[in-house]
Each structure stands twice: as structure tokens, then as C-alpha cells.
């Protein structure tokens, strides 16, 4: 075998990395969304397209992909039979479909024990111990994803309206948000009618910024969010000496705010999810016996 492929597919794009059997990355490429839950056929098309482009980027014949094994990390792969359906229609020599969290965990901590907390627009956790990995959270905006940017942003809009109604305290932050909506609560509500999690999440950095300045509403939202993160970390059952990587757009904001007992566990992630897929491919199908860059 000459190559292995790592694929990281999500709702906005699909990335592929072509690597030598030892996991050394030769080329990267990307294509459109690979959402296996909403459009399996299109997801397959974009996965194959990203893989072919990676071959071309590396100066190789893309037809080689039928002789190349791949590890794919895909959002939704842990739900229902999407994984099996996709594996049946992929053209690679062999395909191993993992959840997006699994390749992110591998990318961040390698193949050994460790844990990740993904804190971005959504939130999710994953821990691996003795080779067995286990998810916590990540159930989505409506009934999960506590402490995610989307939930923090939505909390801010809710508190802003409660302050408008005189039910809760107003603050510099709620006044600024009201001004964003022309001091008209109906404009705010209109925004929420079609707002996606990412739209709510856009307000999250401002909440952290104001909390740092002592804004009472922002502090209350951030305190609740930190308690939510620590609650989920508690369910990961971390011990002294464990490795914990915070990932996602809010990682840097949460890290210094976590309780002292978590600080010694925190590590910078070794690499991203795509690199995690490559490493798993090299270990499973190639010549790497342990993590690359491990």
C-alpha cells in the first residue's frame, strides 16, 4: 500500500488529507458539506471529491483512491445506521467511519487515554480510557450543548428581555444588546424567529468580555456556563495525570476560568481532527504503531 486517507466531514465542508503509510501528510484538500444525516448521497460525492483533490494536490493519480484505505470522521456517524449505509457506498479500498468527536479526540490527545471538551457553537465531550472511548453531551442546541456559544448567546438575549421587562437586573451588556436591536424588543424577537445556533453563538464572545469587566448579567451567564462545563467534566471521571484538551472557538475563553483542579490536566491539542483521522488511518491500515508526533 502506498497511501492512507484521513477525512473530516461536517455540515459546512469536507476536508481530506493524503498521507504516507506512516501517517506523514502529503497533501490536503477540501470540498463541500458532508452531512450524512440530511443528504447521504451528496455527502458521499463531497467525500470522494475531497479525496480526489488530495491525490491531485500530492501529484498522484486520483484513481488510486480505490486502492487506498480511509478513516473518516463524520458528524452524525454515531446515530442510527448512517455509518453502515455510508461504508457500503464508499469507493475506498476499505473505509472506517468514526464520529467527528472520535477523530477530534485522536487529533488532540493521540491514541492513548485522554479527554476533550469541544466548546464552540455547540458543545460535546469525549473521554478515552484503556482504549475505550465514551461520549458525553453533544445533544444539540435545543436540549443540550450547555455552555456552547449558542446557549450562552441565547441566554444573553433571554436575560436582555427579562431586564427590559424589569424582571431581572439590567446591565451595560443588556443595554448594549437592546441598542443592537434599536431598543425594540420586537426586533430582538424577530431575530430569534429564524436564528440558527451560529447566530446566537455570535454573541458569546461579548458575554465573556463583559464578564471579565464585572458586568453582573454577563458574570451570571458565564458562571452558569462554567458550572455546566465542570458538570460535564465531572461525568468524564478524570483523574490526576489525565490529559484534557479544550477545543472549539471558546476553548481559550473557558480554559482560565475552570476550577483549579482541572488546570493541571489542560494541554494544548496535538493536532486537529483531520490529523486525528490520518493518525487512525496510519495506525489501522499503515505502518504507524503509535501516534504520529506522539
Interface residue list for a copy of itself (CB under 8 A): 78-80, 136-137, 139-140, 142-144, 146, 154, 157-158, 161-162, 165-168, 185-186, 188-190, 192-193, 195, 231-232, 234-235
Which residues is 115 bridged to in the sheet?
127, 244
Cell 488546570: give the residue.
263
Rg (CA), the chain: 21
**Shortest Cβ 226–a copy of itself spacing (Å):** 14
* Cα gap 77→63, rounded to integer Å: 26
Name the residue nearer to a copy of itself (CB basis): 187 or 209. 187
**Shortest Cβ 220–a copy of itself spacing (Å):** 14
**Shortest Cβ 161–a copy of itself spacing (Å):** 5
| Closest CA relative to residue 207, chosen from 247, 147, 143, 262 | 147
* Cα gap 224→218, rounded to integer Å: 10
Distance separating the N- and C-terminal Cα atoms of the chain: 23
Q: Which three cell numbers stand for residue 177?
A: 444588546
**Shortest Cβ 164–a copy of itself spacing (Å):** 9
**Shortest Cβ 143–a copy of itself spacing (Å):** 4
Q: DSSP H helical segments within the chain, as ranges?
A: 40-57, 82-89, 100-109, 149-164, 172-180, 185-194, 197-201, 204-212, 216-236, 251-254, 273-285
Q: Which three cell numbers stand for residue 124?
A: 460535546
Name the residue nearer to a copy of itself (CB basis): 110 or 149. 149
**Shortest Cβ 107–a copy of itself spacing (Å):** 23
Name the residue nearer to a copy of itself (CB basis): 193 or 260. 193
Name the residue nearer to a copy of itself (CB basis): 11 or 91. 11
Name the residue nearer to a copy of itself (CB basis): 90 or 232. 232
CB 126 within 8 A of CB 105: yes
CB 51 within 8 A of CB 57: no
Amino acid at each position: 500500500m502506498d497511501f492512507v486517507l484521513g477525512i473530516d466531514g461536517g455540515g459546512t465542508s469536507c476536508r481530506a488529507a493524503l498521507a504516507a503509510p506512516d501517517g506523514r501528510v502529503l497533501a490536503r484538500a477540501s470540498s463541500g458539506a458532508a452531512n450524512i444525516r440530511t443528504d447521504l448521497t451528496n455527502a458521499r460525492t463531497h467525500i470522494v471529491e475531497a479525496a480526489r483533490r488530495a491525490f491531485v494536490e500530492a501529484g498522484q493519480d486520483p484513481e488510486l483512491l480505490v486502492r487506498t484505505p480511509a478513516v473518516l470522521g463524520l458528524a452524525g456517524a454515531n446515530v442510527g445506521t448512517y455509518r453502515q449505509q455510508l461504508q457500503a457506498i464508499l469507493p475506498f479500498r476499505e473505509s472506517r467511519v468514526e464520529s467527528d468527536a472520535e477523530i477530534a479526540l485522536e487529533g488532540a490527545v493521540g491514541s492513548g487515554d485522554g479527554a476533550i471538551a469541544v466548546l464552540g457553537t455547540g458543545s460535546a465531550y469525549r473521554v478515552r480510557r484503556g482504549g475505550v472511548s465514551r461520549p458525553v453531551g453533544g445533544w444539540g442546541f435545543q436540549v443540550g450543548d450547555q455552555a456552547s456559544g449558542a446557549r450562552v448567546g441565547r441566554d444573553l438575549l433571554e436575560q436582555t428581555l427579562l431586564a427590559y421587562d424589569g424582571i431581572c437586573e439590567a446591565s451595560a451588556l443588556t443595554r448594549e444588546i437592546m441598542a443592537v436591536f434599536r431598543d425594540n424588543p420586537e426586533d430582538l424577537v424577530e431575530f430569534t424567529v429564524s436564528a440558527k445556533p451560529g447566530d446566537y453563538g455570535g454573541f458569546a464572545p461579548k458575554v465573556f468580555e463583559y464578564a471579565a469587566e464585572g458586568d453582573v448579567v454577563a458574570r451570571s451567564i458565564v458562571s452558569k456556563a462554567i458550572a455546566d462545563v465542570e458538570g460535564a467534566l465531572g461525568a468524564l471521571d478524570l483523574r490526576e495525570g489525565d490529559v484534557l484538551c479544550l477545543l472549539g472557538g471558546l476553548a481559550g475563553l473557558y480554559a482560565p476560568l475552570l476550577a483549579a483542579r482541572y488546570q493541571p490536566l489542560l494541554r494544548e491539542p496535538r493536532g486537529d481532527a483531520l490529523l486525528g483521522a490520518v493518525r487512525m488511518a496510519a495506525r489501522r491500515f499503515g505502518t504507524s504503531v503509535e501516534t504520529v508526533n506522539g
